[in-house]
Amino acid sequence: MENSVENAVDTAVEPIVTTGVPAAADPYVRSAAAVVTSTGEDHRVDIRSGHHRLAADEPESAGGRDTATTPVGLLLSAVGSCTAITLRMYAGRKGWPLDTVRVHLGYEKGPDSAVRITRRIDLTGELDATQRARLLEIADRTPVTRAVSQGTPIVAQPDRHHPADATTRAVADHAADRTPDSTAAGTPDDAKETGRHE
């Protein structure tokens, strides 16, 4: 695995227009997929992404069993891990003396239902001020950071077990029923009302 990362960093040299991150720091983000399955009466879900498996759950206070991190915890983990990996790859390609990257993230929902993610990045190593500033600049443009901060459309696809026209109508009806407050916060009305995923 390390060798494939090293090779990807060495061979990907074209800039990526969509993310603004040099290709050497973004060699794999062309497509990804995940399948999330809920099979029981509780809130735990099994997640498969490639050959990796993980899970998500809700805390007991939200009706879950607290057997895994929450979906929001996974979102924060995705932002933080993408940031740390991208900075590590970029510094490695440049030959910069970056020892550790630690990304601290928080999720806050205000009384007006506005959501924000807070982030603090701690970098250790004998970096000069220019190198440190460049890494922090790159951190704002990592693929997952941009997907979250700029908003990425979610395109509804038909359920393979039902006719496409019925699914399309149901999705359109649901979208029409959403209030401006719920769409601005990026959460469906039912999740907003229950307070889940926090």
16-59 pLDDT, tens digit each: 334 455 544 555 557 889 999 998 878 999 999 999 999 999 99
133-191 pLDDT, tens digit each: 999 999 999 999 999 999 999 999 888 877 655 555 655 565 555 544 443 344 344 44
Domain segments of the chain: what residues? 2-31+69-150, 32-64, 158-186
179 compared with 76, residue with greater pLDDT:
76
Residue 198 confidence (pLDDT): 46
User: Any idea which fold 2-31+69-150 has?
Assistant: GMP Synthetase; Chain A, domain 3 (3.30.300)
Which tokens in the block code for residue 140?
């704002």
